[in-house]
C-alpha cells in the first residue's frame, strides 16, 4: 500500500494543472510513510549514539590504562591499593555523571520530538480542513 501510495504521489506531482482527489486512505498512508521514515531516522540516530558511546568508552579505557601504568611505576607496593580504590571511585563518579547527563539529554530530545510531532499533527489537521473546505 505504501509503495503504491508513493507512486501515486509521484505521478500526482508530475501532473500539471490537474486537481487530484484526496481521500482518507491517502492521509493514512501519508501518516504511515511519515512514521516509517521517522522510525528509520530514530534508529540511525540511536546507532550513531551507541557507536559514539563505544568510542568514548574505548578512549576512556585507554586513558585509564595509561594512567594506571604511570601510577604503577611511581608507587610502591603499599601505596597501590589506596590509589587504585580512589581511582575506581573517581571513575564510578564520572560514569554516574555521564549517565545522568545522558538521561537528561534523552529526556530533552524526547520532549522536543513530542513537540515536533504535535506541530506536525496540527499542520496535517489544518491541511485536511483546508482541503475539506
* Phi, psi for residue 16 in degrees, rounded to 5: -115, 130
pTM of the model: 0.36
**Torsion (CA) 95, 96, 100, 105 in degrees, nearest 10:** 0
CB atoms within 10 A of CB 29: 19
Residue 80's pLDDT is what? 82
> Which comes out higher in pLDDT, residue 64 or 118?
118
Q: What is the pLDDT of residue 9?
A: 72
User: What residues contact residue 26 under an 8 Å CB cut-off, 6+ apart?
Assistant: 5, 8
**What pLDDT, in 10s, does the model give residues 82-105?**
888 999 999 999 999 999 999 999
* Banded pLDDT at 112 (limits 50, 70, 90): very high
Amino acid at each position: 500500500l505504501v509503495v503504491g501510495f508513493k507512486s501515486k504521489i509521484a505521478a500526482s506531482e508530475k501532473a500539471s494543472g490537474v486537481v487530484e482527489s484526496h481521500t482518507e486512505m491517502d492521509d493514512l498512508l501519508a501518516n504511515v510513510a511519515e512514521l516509517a521514515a521517522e522510525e528509520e531516522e530514530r534508529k540511525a540516530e540511536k546507532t550513531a549514539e551507541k557507536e559514539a558511546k563505544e568510542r568514548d568508552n574505548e578512549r576512556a579505557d585507554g586513558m585509564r590504562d595509561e594512567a594506571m601504568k604511570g601510577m604503577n611505576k611511581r608507587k610502591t607496593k603499599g601505596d597501590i591499593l589506596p590509589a587504585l580504590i580512589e581511582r575506581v571511585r573517581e571513575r564510578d563518579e564520572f560514569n554516574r555523571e555521564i549517565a545522568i547527563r545522558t538521561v537528561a539529554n534523552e529526556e530533552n530530545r524526547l520532549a522536543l520530538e513530542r513537540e515536533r510531532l504535535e506541530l506536525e499533527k496540527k499542520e496535517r489537521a489544518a491541511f485536511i480542513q483546508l482541503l475539506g473546505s
